[in-house]
C-alpha cells in the first residue's frame, strides 16, 4: 500500500514538472521543436496565391522566421506571430527584446489592403514590414544597412535573394522589405464554415444562423466588420476591397471602450481630435483563436466582447454613430436619410457636436442572441491556419 502511494506521488510530481515546463515554453517560444541554423525548403517553391513570384514570398517566409533580424538574435517576427497561435501570441501584450512588453496586443495577420497597425500608422504591408525590425521594443535593428550586411554573411540568403530577384541583385533593406511584405500579403485563412455555407456546401446551425442575422442586421456589426461572402475577387481589387471572404479593412472607428482613452490610437497619428480613441477595424477571421481581444487585449473571451457591444458601450464624444441609440430597425435607405440629417454642416462626416445628443446603444440581447453572435464568430475559423506548411517555420526540424 505504502509503495503505491509514494509511487503515485512521484508520478504526480513528474506530471506537475512537465506541466510547469510546458507552460513556460508556450509563453516564450513558438513551439517546442528543434531549430536548425539554416532553413529547410522544398526543391520547388510552394505556390503562394497572392504572389506572381513564389521565390520572393519564400524569401519573405524565411525572413519572417529568422531571429537574425533582431539585434541580439533573440526575436523573430514569429516570436509574437506564432503559427501555433493563429499568428498572434495569446498574450495581452507581447514580449520583445530583453522581455520588454509592447504597448498593444499583437493581432493575427491577414493580408489587409490599406492602412495597418491598430492606429493605421503604416499605409500598406510594404510600409509596415520593416517597422517591427527597427522598433525598439520588438527587434531593435535600427541600422538597416548593418542588417543587410549581417544577413549577406549567412550561408543561405545570397542564394534566396538570387532566386527572388535575379543573379545580380544586391541584398539591401529595400529588398528585405519587399520580400517580407510579399509573404504577408498571402495571409488569408478563410476556408471557414461561413464561407462554405454561403456557397451552399454546408449549413449553419440554428444558433449560428441567429448570430448571422444579428451580425448583418440589428446588431450592426457588419457596418464596420465587412465579413463578405462574395469571393469573386480573389485577392483585392484596386479599390481596396480584399478577397478572402473579407471586404474593406481600411477604416477606423471609436467603439466606446472608455470615456477617456489612455491610448488615442488613430488620433495620436493623425493629430485630429475626432480620431481620438479610434482604432483600425480588425478582420474577424479566426477570431476564435486570437484571444485576448481589442488593441489593449482587455477582453479575455468573445462573450466579453459581445457583452461590451450589448451593454458596455461608453459615451465617448467620438463614439461611432452605429454604436449609438438610433432606431435599430431602420432600413438602409432610412438610415442614410437619418445620417444625412444628422450631418448638419453637410461635410460628409459626423462630428462629435452632431452626435452629442445620442446616447450609447443598449442592444438588450437575450442570452440566446449573445450565444448566437459568439457561435457565428466561430464560423469564421479556419483550422488550416495552424497547419499550412508554406506559412510554417522553415528553421524547425521535427
Query: How many alpha carbons fall within 13 Å on the CB side of residue 219?
Result: 27
Nearer to ligand HEC, 50 or 377 (CB): 377
* Residue 210 sits in the site that holds ligand HEC (CB under 6 A): no
Go through the chain and tell me how many residues it has.
Answer: 398
* Residue 147 sits in the site that holds ligand HEC (CB under 6 A): no
User: Which listed range, 12-20, 124-132, 157-165, 386-394, lies at the site for ligand HEC (CB under 6 A)?
Assistant: 124-132
Exactly one of 61, 163, 295, 378 binds ligand HEC (CB under 6 A); which one?
295
Q: Least distance to ligand HEC from the beta carbon of 89, Å? A: 7
Question: Under rule CB under 6 A, which residues in 299-318 are in contact with ligand HEC?
Answer: 302, 305-306, 309
**Mask for 357-396, x = binds ligand HEC (CB under 6 A):** ----------------x---x-------------------
Nearer to ligand HEC, 56 or 306 (CB): 306
The residue among 96, 283, 126 whose CA lies nearest residue 189 is: 283
Q: Least distance to ligand HEC from the beta carbon of 7, Å? A: 44
Cell of 288: 476564435
Instruction: Spell out the long-range contacts of 220-226 with Cβ–Cβ below 8 A and sequence spacing 24 or more.
Output: 220/322, 220/323, 220/328, 221/309, 221/373, 223/322, 224/251, 224/253, 224/281, 224/320, 224/322, 225/281, 225/282, 225/283, 225/284
User: Which listed range, 1-9, 75-83, 188-196, 229-237, lies at the site for ligand HEC (CB under 6 A)?
Assistant: 75-83
| Buried/exposed code over 77-106 (b: 16+ C-beta within 10 A; e: otherwise) | bbbbbbbbbbbbbbbbbbbbbeeeebebbb
Exactly one of 75, 148, 160, 195 binds ligand HEC (CB under 6 A); which one?
75
Other CB atoms within a 10 A radius of the CB of residue 311 amount to: 14
How many chain residues touch ligand HEC (CB under 6 A)?
A: 54
Exactly one of 56, 133, 179, 285 binds ligand HEC (CB under 6 A); which one?
133
User: Which listed range, 115-123, 199-207, 267-275, 383-391, lies at the site for ligand HEC (CB under 6 A)?
Assistant: 115-123
User: Which listed range, 50-58, 94-102, 196-204, 235-243, lies at the site for ligand HEC (CB under 6 A)?
Assistant: 94-102
Quote the CA–CA distance of 285 and 108 in Å, as a whole number: 9
Quote the CA–CA distance of 61 and 55 in Å, as a whole number: 10
Q: Are 79 and 73 contacting, i.e. CB atoms less than 8 angstroms apart?
A: no
Quote the CA–CA distance of 195 and 379 in Å, as a whole number: 8
* Residue 323 sits in the site that holds ligand HEC (CB under 6 A): yes
Q: Which residue has the cell 492606429?
A: 119
Q: Are 360 and 315 contacting, i.e. CB atoms less than 8 angstroms apart?
A: yes
Q: Which residue has the cell 528585405?
A: 176
Nearer to ligand HEC, 224 or 342 (CB): 224
The residue among 276, 58, 43 whose CA lies nearest residue 165 is: 58
* Residue 94 sits in the site that holds ligand HEC (CB under 6 A): yes
Exactly one of 223, 270, 311, 392 binds ligand HEC (CB under 6 A); which one?
223
308 Cβ contact partners less than 8 Å away, ≥ 6 residues apart? 255, 257, 299
* Residue 255 sits in the site that holds ligand HEC (CB under 6 A): yes
Exactly one of 86, 128, 266, 285 binds ligand HEC (CB under 6 A); which one?
128
* Residue 221 sits in the site that holds ligand HEC (CB under 6 A): yes
Q: Where do contacts with ligand HEC occur on this chain (CB under 6 A)?
A: 64, 75, 77, 79-81, 94, 96, 102, 104, 106-107, 109, 112, 116-119, 128-129, 132-133, 138-139, 180, 184, 219-221, 223-225, 253, 255, 257, 279-282, 284, 287, 290, 293-295, 302, 305-306, 309, 320, 322-323, 373, 377
Amino acid at each position: 500500500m505504502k509503495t503505491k502511494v509514494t509511487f503515485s506521488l512521484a508520478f504526480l510530481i513528474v506530471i506537475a514538472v512537465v506541466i510547469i515546463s510546458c507552460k513556460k515554453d508556450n509563453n516564450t517560444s513558438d513551439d517546442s521543436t528543434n531549430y536548425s541554423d539554416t532553413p529547410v525548403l522544398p526543391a520547388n517553391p510552394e505556390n503562394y496565391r497572392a504572389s506572381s513570384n513564389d521565390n520572393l514570398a519564400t524569401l519573405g517566409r524565411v525572413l519572417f522566421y529568422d531571429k537574425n533580424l533582431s539585434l541580439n538574435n533573440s526575436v523573430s517576427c514569429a516570436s509574437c506571430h506564432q503559427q501555433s497561435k493563429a499568428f498572434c501570441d495569446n498574450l495581452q501584450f507581447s514580449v520583445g527584446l530583453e522581455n520588454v512588453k509592447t504597448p498593444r496586443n499583437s493581432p493575427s495577420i491577414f493580408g489587409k489592403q490599406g492602412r495597418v497597425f491598430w492606429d493605421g500608422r503604416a499605409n500598406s504591408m510594404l510600409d509596415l514590414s520593416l517597422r517591427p525590425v527597427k522598433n525598439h521594443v520588438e527587434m531593435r535593428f535600427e541600422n538597416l544597412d548593418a542588417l543587410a550586411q549581417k544577413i549577406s554573411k549567412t550561408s543561405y540568403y545570397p542564394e534566396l535573394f538570387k532566386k527572388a530577384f535575379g543573379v545580380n541583385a544586391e541584398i539591401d533593406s529595400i529588398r528585405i522589405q519587399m520580400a517580407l511584405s510579399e509573404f504577408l500579403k498571402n495571409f488569408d485563412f478563410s476556408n471557414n464554415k461561413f464561407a462554405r455555407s454561403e456557397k451552399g456546401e454546408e449549413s449553419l446551425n440554428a444558433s449560428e444562423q441567429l448570430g448571422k442575422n444579428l451580425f448583418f442586421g440589428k446588431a450592426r456589426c457588419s457596418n464596420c466588420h465587412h465579413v463578405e461572402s462574395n469571393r469573386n475577387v480573389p485577392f483585392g481589387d484596386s479599390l481596396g476591397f480584399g478577397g478572402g471572404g473579407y471586404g474593406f479593412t481600411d477604416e477606423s472607428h471609436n467603439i466606446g471602450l472608455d470615456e477617456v482613452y489612455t491610448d488615442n490610437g488613430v488620433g495620436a497619428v493623425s493629430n485630429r481630435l475626432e480620431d481620438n480613441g479610434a482604432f483600425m477595424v480588425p478582420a474577424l477571421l479566426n477570431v476564435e483563436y486570437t484571444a485576448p481581444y481589442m488593441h489593449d487585449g482587455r477582453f479575455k473571451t468573445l462573450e466579453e466582447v459581445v457583452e461590451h457591444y450589448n451593454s458596455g458601450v461608453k459615451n465617448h464624444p467620438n463614439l461611432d454613430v452605429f454604436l449609438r441609440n438610433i432606431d435599430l430597425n431602420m432600413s438602409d435607405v432610412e438610415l442614410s436619410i437619418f445620417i444625412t440629417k444628422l450631418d448638419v454642416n453637410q461635410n460628409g462626416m459626423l462630428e462629435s457636436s452632431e452626435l452629442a445628443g445620442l446616447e450609447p446603444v443598449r442592444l438588450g440581447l437575450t442570452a440566446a442572441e449573445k450565444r448566437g453572435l459568439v457561435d457565428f464568430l466561430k464560423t469564421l475559423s479556419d483550422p488550416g491556419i495552424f497547419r499550412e506548411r508554406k506559412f510554417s517555420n522553415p528553421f524547425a526540424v521535427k
